[in-house]
Amino acid sequence: MKQDELAARGNLFRAATASFDFFNPAQALSSLLKLATELTGSERAALYELDEVAGSFAPRFSHATALSELGRIQATPDHPTLRSVLTNRKAAVTGDGRGSLGLPLAPGVVACAPCITCG
């Protein structure tokens, strides 16, 4: 097994076994997004919700960046992490050095760090 694959599995294990206080949703989301940045080495992370009418994901919550600085992500996911999260309803991570992590939180809601499409 490649080193990238081992690291990716370790990150998914950490994400799956992390505990959050879901009685305090804002704190839980902040902690989740902070963990996502740690796992990917990213400076920021965001929670996106699928807007089926507009055909894109809209940012709803963020860590280390303002929501106004984030754009929409097209719902036709060419990005392998988003496609995997939406299809399999399981956490996914890329191993190509870009460090994308996607965590499904609810139907149509994905936490991304960073899930960047089209550059």
Mean pLDDT for the stretch of residues 84-97 = 77
Average model confidence (pLDDT) across the chain: 78
Q: What percent of the chain has pLDDT over 70?
A: 80
What pLDDT band is residue 119 in, cutting at 50, 70 and 90?
Answer: very low
Asked whether the predicted pLDDT for residue 77 surpasses 70, the reply is no
Bigger pLDDT: 63 vs 5: 63
The pLDDT of residue 41 is above 60: yes
Residue 9: partners with Cβ closer than 8 Å, 6 or more residues away: none
Under a CB-based contact definition with an 8 Å cutoff, are residues 40 and 112 in contact?
no
Residue 70 has pLDDT above 80, yes or no: yes
In whole angstroms, what separates CA 83 from the centre of its chain? 12
| Full-model pTM | 0.65
Closest residue by Cα to residue 39 from 102, 107, 119, 106? 102
Mean pLDDT confidence for 50-70: 87
Which whole-number Å values give the CA distances from 48 to 2, 24, 25, 80, 108, in the listed order? 30, 19, 15, 16, 8
Q: Are 110 and 91 in contact (CB under 8 A)?
A: no
Which sign, positive or negative, has the C-alpha torsion 117, 55, 80, 109? Answer: positive
pLDDT at 2 over 80: no
